[in-house]
Structure 1
Amino acid sequence: MTELLRLSKRMSELGLCSRREADEWIERGWVRVDGKIVSELGSKVFPHQRVSVERQAAAEQSKRVTILINKPVGLVSGQAEDGHQPAISLVKAENRWSECPVDNQFHPTQLMSLVAAGRLDIDSVGLLVLTQDGRIAKHLIGQDTTVEKEYLVRVEYSRPGRLPEKDLRLLNHGLSLDGKKLIPAKVRWQNDDQLNFILKEGKKRQIRRMCEMVGLTVLGLKRVRIGKVKLGKLPEGQWRYLQEDEQF
């Protein structure tokens, strides 16, 4: 027998919105199942049932912003912690990149429900995504995400000579963290002291820990791409809006 699913979970699976958005829309009477409005939280549906949303939901979703920040060292990605400022503190009119291509006026209400879709360590720099759009957050940090993240990593080898080729192959595939094998990565030398990493997962301090395992010390780490969206010329400490034609 086909199993019943929570309506909010089913809406998230279908890519309509996040679960939190789904609950809001259900309460407002903006969700239909097989053409009938369902407004009770916790309602369940079968996978074969048709779920649709009213135009008001789509209109509200279109107003939600996604912001790209070039995060500097010393800021945390999410909530403020240990006296360190969060990256969202940079999102104000005076820090907006003068070359931002989106004709959108900044307003403090855009900070509401703006969450980091992924993280960068406090001592790492580069591309950080903050979004009000649950679909984008799920796409970037959901359990089944396969979105590539690209990093430039300045390293120093702590042993005599140069990193052996076999250890470079280990960085690409063969290491384990927290008792689990890492999925294959793409790691190559960018220049004499800098590696290029492309990952499809993001365990805590993953690159630094991978490097330690083969005798490398990370001196600097910069994220330059998430999916098809590049950091580009965005200056450190500044932000811009995601363009309509940009997709991760």
Structure 2
Amino acid sequence: MENSSRRFIFANLFGLVAAGIVFTWISRSGTFDFWVTQHFFDPVTRTFPLEHNRPLFFWGHAVLKKISVVAWLICIGLAFASIRVRALQSWRQVLLTFIVMGGLASWLVQSLKGASPHSCPYDLAVYGGSDFWFPLFDAVTTIVHKGQCWPGGHASAGFVLIAGYFALREKAPKWARCVLIFSLVLGTVMSAVQVVRGAHFVSHNLWSLWLVWATCVTLHLAIAGYRRLRGRTAIVYDAAVTAEAAPGYRP
């Protein structure tokens, strides 16, 4: 493995561990989450004024989410087209990597969200709802009515485009960095939309970013390992063929 690849992997693994520790502390403390959310809550009406804001929901929720979905569907179409279109064949691996990474990351976040006992801010009793908050990774000791709010599913639709960075990193580094920046900005905006609506705590969205990132790093390592194994197998095979062709070869 090249030194640059080792540094890249080490930096990502170190970042995941460090971020995981910080995010766990934020999620278990709750102080930062509640402090941010309190700014968008009206204690008089005991509601989040922007929860049902139509322009915010349409542009910040429906439209932004479609960007990620459309990008993923376009890549699927291009991957199929690469079977016949010669100009796309060199991009097939990039397209397939993005499709698999993005699809698995999105599936992971949505699966965890669907099984989560943690409720959204506007469902909590402190904000006019009926559910109760408890620290992340704690045993469920209270009755949970709704849950299904950790991690942030909407934010993940923006962050999932990080898969494009990993897919493009070797073939088109400059484009990879552009995709990374775009994904982080899009995911951050989508996170902010949900926070101001009372639909998620900040930590919910931070964990979406972490889970997408972890999925991409894991698959990146798996792909790199497969390539090394395939390369070694090819070397052994070539050596065997060369030996067989050598004069005086005896099995």
TM-score of the aligned structures, taking structure 2 as reference length: 0.24
More strand by share: 1
Bigger CA radius of gyration? 2
More helix by share: 2
TM-score of the aligned structures, taking structure 1 as reference length: 0.24
